[in-house]
Homo-oligomer: A and B are copies of this chain.
């Protein structure tokens, strides 16, 4: 006879919120632990073993609101399985091979809102009981073997918002199948990854959707045929790299003329006979996503898309910015052209007609420009967000941003910046709030480089080099007196002069991590009340007590990954540290390096007694 010790389960489940929220994930449990408090509201019981759900299984947890039963090897759900859980709103049954759901399986909860039946082996809607689902908002039937969308007449539609049939084997849809959806407004219906071969003409007419997702379905014509006279805010017809699909011809998109659609998503689709005709029925669109579609230009002679606000052309093959034919979209507020696969020539004034453009994203598009950014951005007087990060090389001359003086956010991360100007390149950007110059190799010796940025709140300069490896008292930040966030991580700094940042009265967040600093120079700041100072990954050995005592209010410091000494030379830090542990970030990695005997011990665990001539270390 061998013996097995049964651990009390309250020792095993993790308490996330006392008496309210528990995670018992992957503990090999075969029943709900007795020790969970009756008033538990949130329970993650995923990756355990239940086999069947019966009335007794969950009867104790009367206050349950959220229940995750992902992958519990549940085969059978009997009547009243949730009969004692009146407040249950969410049931997740993902990954259980459900052989049977009793008609009264979901009776009990007054207001079940979210039911997730992803990958549960269901082969028919009729095997899902509708009793108790009257208040359902979300029903997820993703990745099952459902062949027919035949929604029964008593399908719960009252509060329905989200219905997901992704990755089933639905091939045909008739008007009768979805007739009950006429009772719903603003539904999101996901039919992506079904091999849809036929939809009855106008099957979706007179139904009002928020989103209709037919992503990764092979034949767009078939779908648009069924959508005649339908209405949806968003229509998703995109594809993905690992799916073959028929290329889209102008004829195929003609169906859109008879559909009310505001946002159209076509990523990863390919076009055949791509021409002005392709856009013939897109004139009323507000948003168009043509990312990853292999296009190098938009056709000339385009119909005017006067309603279009947002245009996404990411990961395409544009060689010249003028090839997007901006004049056809006069009311655009957003353009995204990220990750262009060819080097993009910004040209001159290509977007000049877009006086309402607010967001422009050119990041990761291999851009090199010898005269940025006045000419390329000519006419963009409304522009607020400009992203030019992760490009090759930009050269700024005088008044580089004089066409876009309303910019609030400018991101130049990891794009090499060359300055060929007498004035500061940003001197027109009086409204700029966020500037990211990290890893831009910008020359910080140029005087007045931050000139004009009197409203700047966030400045990121990570990975740039300062002359003399030192932040001097007399420095460029004085031009940006309203800075609240300043990051100087990985700048190879070895010193900061006293009062270096004293002009930055509003500074709240300072990142100096990954430098070569040997001192924690809190005297560089004007105020140590409510400041966040990150000195992680530097070379600080000792911090005198008087550098710390001024840290008050909600201030937080990070000293992790420094070679801190745990000897009496550093008694000032060690004493203060234990009394101010609430001000420490990442105490797990804030460890001693000296003496060798204590190397790797957490500062928190050190008890040091320092007399005049003896030192005594106690490890708690």
Contacts and interface: CB of A to CB of B under 8 A. Distances in A.
A504 B6 CA distance: 72
Interface string A94-127: 0001000000000000000000000001000000
A446 B2 CA distance: 76
Interface string A126-157: 00000000000000000001010000000000
Nearest to A145: B145
A380 interface: no
Contacts of A6: 1-2, 4
Interface in A15-61: none
A147 B121 contact: no
Contact of A1 (B5, B147, B169): B5
Contacts of A4: 3-4, 6
A389 B4 CA distance: 64
A73 interface: yes
Nearest to A144: B145
Contacts of A121: 97, 121
Nearest to A171: B171
Contacts of A145: 145, 169
A470 to B, nearest CB: 59
Contacts of A73: 73
Contacts of A169: 145, 147, 169
Nearest to A75: B73
Contacts of A97: 97, 121
Nearest to A195: B147
Contacts of A5: 1
A369 B169 CA distance: 57
A10 to B, nearest CB: 15
A339 to B, nearest CB: 33
A438 to B, nearest CB: 43
A1 B4 CA distance: 9
A5 B5 CA distance: 11
Interface in A482-527: none
12 contacts: A1-B5, A1-B6, A2-B6, A3-B3, A3-B4, A4-B6, A73-B73, A97-B121, A121-B121, A145-B145, A145-B169, A169-B169
Q: For the complex of A and B, list the 5 residue pairs with the smallest distance between their C-beta atoms, beginning with the closest.
A: A3-B3, A97-B97, A2-B6, A4-B4, A1-B5
Given A3-B3, A3-B4, 9 more contacts: A2-B6, A4-B4, A4-B6, A73-B73, A97-B121, A121-B121, A145-B145, A147-B169, A169-B169
